[in-house]
Amino acid sequence: MADTSSARSQRIVILGGGFGGVYAALRLQRLARWRRDLDLTLIARDNFFLFTPMLPQAATSSIDTQHIVVSLRRVLPRVRVFDAEIESIDLSGHTVTIVHGDGAVHAVGWDQLIIAVGGETNYFNLPGVAENALTIRTLADAFVLRNRAIDMLERAELEDDPEVRRRLLTFAVAGAGFAGIETAAEMDLFVRTAAKLYRTVKPSDVTTIVVDLQTRILPELSEALATWTQTTLEKRGVQFRLGVGVKSADANGVTLTDGTRIETQMFVWAGGVSANPLIAGLPISNERGRVPVDEYLAVPGYPGVWCVGDSAVVMPPGGGRPYPPTAQHALREGLHVAGNVMAAIDRKPLRPFAYTSVGQMAHLGEHQAVAMLGGLKISGFPAWWLWRTYYLFRIPTLERKIRVAIDWTLDLIFSRDTVQVKLPRGKSG
């Protein structure tokens, strides 16, 4: 073995604390365990990893919010973790400029750079949507969504005007993909159940409406499963406005493209993801603000630069449509790019990336779900059991697995918590 103790360490910097970045760091940590010639750094805007598939359940008290996050330093003990915002990336100078919450600016040098910063919420420049809509992408979103839903019930309890009460108890969700459908299903169940605790609010007073420009929900699944899902949710009272999009939004409602209006003070936007502005401004991005990569997940023309996840355009072998920007693909890309980074450092052959999705699943609450595994279509309780089993094994650390399993067990026995946590203005802790 060559003596590398006197050589400068190879600096591997990973940008992003989502599925792509964290799983790349996990594998690099394992591969570099006995080596002293590698320096691993992860830069993320939070000091935790958020398990986003369970976010709608955390927002509605089925799972404790803290149980779907894992400390990055706990799972990455051999990786330096910087909790900071990425201000700029200098590809030619091999540096990343970061800013911590106190405003202090730092420069981090790199020899190998893995970009996995993900995307941003896409509001499509619709008037008033960004200012008035809630989202369901971050841990803070889950707190806000839950507090707003409970606040609507509290205000409705005090309200005598029937029109105002109807607006307070109407919940609109834009987007009929996985995030929108799971959020609408969980939120409708949570609010209707919580309404039983109030004297003047009945579960039948609650209205949940899903809006989407497409004419069917869950386009990633088969039409049969999508129809089953819509029928199941309609039986619970969820309404669908399909084939019509959002035109604008304000503090008291949403105007649709057909001229109709939904009076609501709780509007959730799950309508899409756009490119990260940080990446869109780099010379390696395409016209859509994403980074095309080769079959090894490397950025052509920029040795040492790699990209995975929502920010990357990853083509399957033989061409066709790019891999979708899902957590499932980002995870696999992160694991794969770690192996190729190590191979590049050691001057070994790189391995092309290829991945066949194991399937898609959507959780609908009340022991119901839908799943498509290859050509196998599953709905109802079996899909619900499959969803829980798969994601329970996917969440990092044994401790979190046990905590989530306990939460699910308690959820079967006790009612969900409806305590509203109000933070003083200016307080974030």
Element (H, E) at 339: helix 327-345
What pLDDT is recorded for position 1? Answer: 31
In a domain, 65, yes or no: no
pLDDT over threshold 60, residue 4 = no
| Same-domain pairing of 98 and 195 | no
Active site residues: 182
- How wide is the angle at C-alpha 361 spanned by C-alphas 359 and 367, nearest 5°? 140
| Same-domain pairing of 243 and 187 | yes
pLDDT interval class at 424 (50, 70, 90): low
| Same-domain pairing of 154 and 208 | yes
| Same-domain pairing of 265 and 403 | yes
| Same-domain pairing of 330 and 195 | no
Instruction: Report whether 286 contacts 136 (CB < 8 A).
Output: no
What pLDDT is recorded for position 198? Answer: 96
| Same-domain pairing of 169 and 311 | no
Domain of residue 101 covers 10-45+84-119+275-345
Closest CA to 341 of 305, 365, 374, 314: 305
In a domain, 418, yes or no: no
| Same-domain pairing of 268 and 280 | no
Helices (H), 71-213: 72-75, 129-132, 139-158, 162-168, 178-194
Helix, strand or coil, per DSSP, at residue 255: strand
What is the rounded CA–CA span in Å between residue 359 and residue 357?
5
| Same-domain pairing of 225 and 306 | no
Q: What is the per-residue pLDDT across 36-56, written as a single tens digit (0 to 9) for each? A: 999 999 999 999 999 999 999
In a domain, 419, yes or no: no
Q: 5-19, 91-105, 164-178, 288-302: which range is least confident on average?
A: 5-19
For the chain, what is the mean pLDDT? 94
pLDDT over threshold 70, residue 332 = yes
What pLDDT is recorded for position 425? Answer: 57
What pLDDT is recorded for position 423? Answer: 62
In a domain, 201, yes or no: yes
What CATH number is associated with residue 158?
3.50.50.100
Please tell me the total count of domains within the chain.
Answer: 2
